[in-house]
Structure 1
Amino acid sequence: MQLVFVCSGNTCRSPLALCAWHLAVRELGAQSGQSSAARLLQRIKARSAGLCATIGAGAAPYSQEVARGWGEDLTPHRAQLFRPEHARFDLIITMTHDQSAVLRSHFEVGENQVRRLGSYAPRHQKLAEAARFAPLWNDDFFASLSAETGSEVDILDPYGGSLEAYEACASQIRRCVFELARTLSGSKS
C-alpha cells in the first residue's frame, strides 16, 4: 500500500505529517510487538507532496524545529510537487477541503482514495482546536472560520506564523496521523 500526505507547498504540514507517520508506525509497532497490525503498517510506503510546491525547497525552519522536538530530522527534506503517479497511490491524505477538491478536479482519483487528515480527529477536538488556535495565525481568514463551513476538519497552513502556530498545527497533525495509523492497522483505541 502507498499513501501520500499532501499540502500546498510541501514545506510545512505534509513533511510534518510524514514525520508523524514514522513516529506512529514505530509507536504502534512497539505497543503491539510484531502483530499483523504492526507488520501491515511497516509495509505501507508513505510520501509527501505539495500541490504548488517549489521543487527542491527545504522544510520551513519552524517545521524543522518541531520535527527535531519529535526526534525526527527534516533537514534533508526537499519539496516535491504532486505528480500524476501520486494519483495512483492507494490513499491521498490532504490537509484541507480545497486541496481535496483540486485533486479530484485535476487528477483521476477515486472518491474514497482522497481523505482529509483532520477527519481522523474526534469532532469535539476539531472544534476546540479551531477556536483555541485561531489567534496564533496571522490570517484574518482563519480567525473568521466557523464550524458550519466544515473548517473544523481542515488543518490550516501555519506558513508565516509563529513557532506556537507551527506547534499547534503539528500537534493536530500528530494526533490525526496517529488515528489514521490506528485505523489502517485495525488497532482499537
Structure 2
Amino acid sequence: MKRILFVCTGNTCRSPMAEAMFRVKTAGQGYEVRSAGVAAFDGQPASPHAREVMAERGIEHVHQSSRLDEGLIDWSDVILTMTSSHKQAILTYFPSAAGKVHTLRDYVGVEGYGDIADPYGGSLEDYRRCAEELEESLDRLSMRLIQERFRKSP
C-alpha cells in the first residue's frame, strides 16, 4: 500500500481536487490518498468552484481541509506539492520529509514550469483549467506508479 499526500496552501482547491481525482483514477489499486495545506484551517469545505468542477467530472468528494502536520508527514510515503514554494515550506518545517517531498509536476516529469496554477478566487473556468493541469499530471503519476510496481514485482 502506497500512501500519497497532495499538498497546496489552504487545502480547499488544488490538493482536494488532486486527491479526489487520483482516488477515482486508481480505485482498487492499493493506494491511500489524502490532502493537506501548509496554511490550512482545519475543517473548511472545498471551494464551491472546486466542488462544481469535480461534479462536472462525475466525482463526488466530501472534503474538510486539514493543516499539514507531523502525523501526515509520517503517514505518507510520497508528498506531492502543487508548487515549489509548498515544497520549500515543507522542507523548512519538516526536514525529515526531505526524501519524500516533490512537486507533482517534477515528480511525474513535466518539463518547464513546475507549478500547478492556483485558481483560488478565480472563475469557474480557472478551476476547469486547474483540473486539466491536474489531470495531465495525475495520468503521468498513475503510469509512474504502475511502472514502479512492475519493476518491484518478482
Q: In which range does the TM-score fall when normalised by the shorter chain?
A: 0.7 to 0.9
CA distance in 2, matches of 1:177, 1:109: 25
CA distance in 2, matches of 1:49, 1:15: 8
Is the Cα contact below 8 Å between 1:121 and 1:175 reproduced in 2? no
| Structure 2 counterpart of 1:80, from 40, 60, 66 | 66
Matching residue's letter, 1:174: E
**Percent identity (aligned):** 32
The alignment of Structure 1 onto Structure 2 pairs a total of residues equal to 146
Q: Give the 3 Å change call, closer, same or farther, for CA 16–121 of structure 1 in structure 2.
A: farther
1:48, distance to aligned residue in structure 2 (A): 0.6
Matching residue's letter, 1:50: G
Structure 1 position 159 matched with structure 2 position 120:
yes
1:112, distance to aligned residue in structure 2 (A): 3.3
Matching residue's letter, 1:81: R
Deviation string, structure 1 residues 112-159 (Cα, Å, up to 9, x no partner) = 301111222532xxx5xxxxxxxxxxxxxxxxxxxxxxxx11012110
Matching residue's letter, 1:79: S
Is the Cα contact below 8 Å between 2:43 and 2:66 reproduced in 1? yes
TM-score (norm 2): 0.87
- Which runs of structure 2 are paired with 1:32-111 in the superposition (5 Å)? 42-74=29-61, 76-88=62-74, 89-111=76-98
Q: Give the 3 Å change call, closer, same or farther, for CA 173–121 of structure 1 in structure 2.
A: farther
1:178, distance to aligned residue in structure 2 (A): 1.5
TM-score (norm 1): 0.72
Is the Cα contact below 8 Å between 1:10 and 1:50 reproduced in 2? yes
1:23, distance to aligned residue in structure 2 (A): 2.8
1:111, distance to aligned residue in structure 2 (A): 3.1
Is the Cα contact below 8 Å between 2:90 and 2:97 reproduced in 1? no
CA distance in 1, matches of 2:99, 2:138: 17
1:172, distance to aligned residue in structure 2 (A): 0.3
Structure 1 position 173 matched with structure 2 position 130:
no
Give SS of 2:35's match. strand
1:9, distance to aligned residue in structure 2 (A): 0.5
Matching residue's letter, 2:54: A
Give SS of 2:26's match. helix
| Cα root mean square deviation, aligned | 1.8
Matching residue's letter, 1:97: S
Higher helix share: 1
Give SS of 2:96's match. coil
Is the Cα contact below 8 Å between 1:87 and 1:108 reproduced in 2? no
Q: Give the 3 Å change call, closer, same or farther, for CA 55–17 of structure 1 in structure 2.
A: same
Is the Cα contact below 8 Å between 1:2 and 1:91 reproduced in 2? yes
